[in-house]
Every structure is written in C-alpha cells, then in structure tokens.
Amino acid sequence: MSFPLALPCSDLVNNNADAVIVIAADVHDLQDERLNTAVAPYLAIDARIASKATLLLADELPGKRLIISPTGPLNRDYDDVRRVFDAAKSAINEAKAAGCKAPTLQVVGMPQDERYQNALQVAYLGACQALWQPLEAREYRGQSIEPVTQISLVGASEALCKQLNAMAAGQYAARDLCGTEPERMAPPKFADYCVELFNNTGVSVEVISDINTIEKQYPMLGTVARASYAVERHHPRVIKLEYTPSGEVNRTLMFVGKGLVYDTGGADLKVGGFMAGMSRDKGGAASVAGFMKAVADYQPNGVKVIAYLAVVRNSIGSDCFVPDEIITCREGLKVRIGNTDAEGRLAMGDLLSEMKDLAKSEVNPELFTVATLTGHAARAVGPYSAYVENGPARAASVSRQLADIGDLWADGAELSRSRREDYDFVKPRTLADDVLSSNNAPSAVTARGHQFPMAFLAIVGGLDKHGCDSELPLPYVHMDIAGSGVEGGDWQHGKPTAATVSSLFARYCI
C-alpha cells in the first residue's frame, strides 16, 4: 500500500519538498508575500491562472515549482468543500505530470465558514483520490505509477496527520477492493486481501469458506452463490472483522457490507451493456473494509467495530436461482424471489439477522448495511449516498449527524425516510410466503426504489421487531452508495471514491 503519507509542516519552504501546491479561493491574494511575488508576473499575462490548476516557475520555492489551483466560488448557499477537494485533485495531477514526488500543500483564503473548517484535510484526501491507481495496474506496471510518496501539509499537526493517514489508508484499501477486476478480486482473493490487510493489527479476521456452512447459516447468500459453485475460484466467502478498543467500550458499530464481486443479474440477466462495471458491485463491502482499516491504523478509544462482509458472485448458469423461488431465510421467514438482479439484499439479509442477535448483548449498538444496492439511489440523489433509517436511528439522529459531518469532509449524503409504503411493497401476496424480495422492474423506474429494500432488510434481519415501540430499540441505517461509489457515476471506468469512509471515521473515531 503506497498512498502518499501526510506529514506536518510549519512553512512553505520545506527542504523535503520538491514543489509547492497552493489551493486558493483568490489567486490574486495568496496571503504570503513569497507566493504573491512568484505568481504576479504570470497573472499579468495569463488569465487562465484564475480558472485552472497551473504550474509556474518559482526560483525561491522548493523544486522551483509552484502549482496554483483555484477553487472557484465558495460563498454561495450551494457551495461546499468539494470545491477544495476538486481543486486539489487538479493540482496533484499537475504535480505528478511535472515529476513531483514530495510536494508541500497549503490551502489559503477560505471563508470564515464552518463548511471549510476541514479544507486542508479535504485537500489532502482529494489528492489521494486523484493519485490512486488500480491494484491490477500496479501489479502489471509496478508501484512507480504512483510516484508521489508524501505530501507535507502546512499548518498540520502530528495528531492531525495521524488521523489523515488512517483515513487515507482506509480509503486506499476500499478503492482497491472495489475497483479491481472480477477475477483478480474473486471472493477467495477478496478474502485474502482482507487477511493481509489486517495482519498484525488490532482487527481480528475470520473467513468462512465452507459452502455447507454458508448454506446452513446464511441460506439467502447461498442461494445467490448457487450458480457460482461450478467454478471453485468463484466460491463465496463470509468475512468477519472485529476491533475492540483497549479500554471501556462506549459504543458498538455493526456493519454488513455487500460484496458482489460480479453481478451478471443472474437469471434476470443484465443486457444492453448494463453488465459492464458490475465488478464494482462490491463497493459496500469495500467501504466497510476500508473503514475497518482506518480504525485498525488509528485505534480509537471507546468504540468497538464489528463488520460482516458478504462476498459472492451472482453468476448465470444451469443452477442459478430464478424469480418465483421461495427460500427460508435465517429468521425463518419464507422469502419469495421477485428478481434475481435484486441479489444484494439477499446476500446481506442473513448476516444482518446474525448481527442483530449479536447486537442485543453489545454496548449502545448502531447497525448499518452498506451497499451499491440500487440504480434508483443514483437516479434519485445523484453523486450522494442515500441513507434510509429506521425509527430508533431517526430518533437518535444517526443519519443526520453522519450527513452533516460528511458535508464537512466532501462525503455528502441525502436522508431518506422509511415509510409504510415500503413495507407494503414487500408484503406477501400469497399464504405460501412471508415477504417479497423485490418487484420485477428496474429499481430506477420503481417508485421508492431505494427505500423499500431497507424495509425488506429490516424484515429478514429481524429489525422490524426492534423499532421505537419495542423493549429493545436498535438503531439501523441502510447506506446505499450506488450514486456515490464511483467518480462521475461511471461504473465501468470511474475511480472508486471509498464513499462513507471519511464520514464514519470523522463521526465516530476523531
């Protein structure tokens, strides 16, 4: 793992640096006479400096390189810190193209507005996002395709850099797991990556590989995996991760991540080009594993974290499951299959049921499912994560707090309500079944297409019995990252974003 380390720095003139990057709200006032003097001759002849990242010759600065990257407007109601994130991506790409390996980074001219309180941190994370290259590309071409080894942050402390390096390590791992092609990251290799990732850390790893065990304990996941059994390298894995702090536990975070290493759609085959990019359908499990990596590196006090990853391939074949099948889930309910392309909720459902049982004995538990679940989420909220919460989570403002913090870390989300229509949508239609997995139309053209799956998960996970009116309310949030999981919504070629990692880390670990 070779993400650029964040290093504390007190001044621009850093002997370890080979360039200076300045992210600026106003390129005409860089709030440092050395910088203003260096950029003035260029501003006099090139108006483009105010609108795009530009590399300038600066004899007095490290490496004689100055890269100015303007953010654009910041004061309008709809502006946010992603402008800093994007400016940093542009700047680091210029630095990399110029041959820089160890730049210094400074952010100047930010408004006195809480929206930009983490501007320096976000700029660093934006640079890391731009620099990441796919795992298989690094293995093929060598680590030299990621040449930037460190970024010195002007004004950052050792403590802040420790936080940022943990976040960056987690995001890097999440991108690797999400963005790697389906054979290189088939379920067994996904598990191998996790075992190596958490080797010699405070996170324990258990991998369940036995098919009979999976089918008995997680029958819905086994159903999704059924057509993959003919190919040994595609066999499913259930990965269990756990971090326990050294001191008192004040809160327990409990995650189930969707790890569909490839989703053909199954019998409801994806056609018309819609299968391309479905190696990224493991983005939920990837982000959960990434968050666990950040936790492992930072070792926060007071918070215990447990994660189950459902890692499986939804294949097409003579033994694939089909619509109209009825499956008995871990909770003992009869689940009628509505569409085999709605497989992620099946893969996660029994793991959520087991997690719910475990939560009954944990301290202040909060449960989450994280998944690239529906096209509807991407259609409804665009490049944001969609959080759908149950009553106890809403009462505790779990999603609201996460979304508000996400806005400060360039990791935005929109909140969705769970409604009675969602539960009505999955109600049984006959006496032969207890719950319907989905309808048979694409989620993107289905009303409440990203909300009703949360109702299904709550039912098959047994969380519908732990609402506000129960003896043991359990907060539960379903996080659909189908819109936020890759850059530009380009599931075939866009870089994975590691959505939710920074929000979760900033909310619970700092």
Across the beta sheet with 326-328, the strand order is: 326-328, 334-336, 435-436
Say how far apart CA 376 and CA 309 lie, in whole Å. Answer: 23
Return the residue matching tokens 């702090």.
245
Number of alpha carbons in the 13 Å side-chain half-sphere of residue 395: 11
For residue 181, give the amino acid letter: E
Q: List residues bridging with 57 in a β-sheet.
A: 65
Q: What are phi and psi of 121, to 5 degrees?
A: -60, -45
Neighbours of 191 (CB within 10 A): 22
Number of alpha carbons in the 13 Å side-chain half-sphere of residue 195: 11
Catalytic residues: 270, 345
Tokens of 127: 């640079």
Give 344-398 as a 3 state SS string.
HHHHHHHHHHHHHHHHCCCCCEEEEEEECCCHHHHHHHCCCEEEEECHHHHHCCH
Q: What's 489's DSSP letter?
A: G
Length of the chain: 510
Contact 436, 427 (CB under 8 A): yes
Q: Where are the alpha helices (DSSP H) in 202-336?
A: 211-217, 219-225, 283-298
125 Cβ neighbours under 8 A, 6+ residues apart: 85, 88, 164, 167, 168, 171, 409, 410, 502
Contact 450, 380 (CB under 8 A): yes
Beta 385-389 vs 150-154: how paired, if at all? unpaired
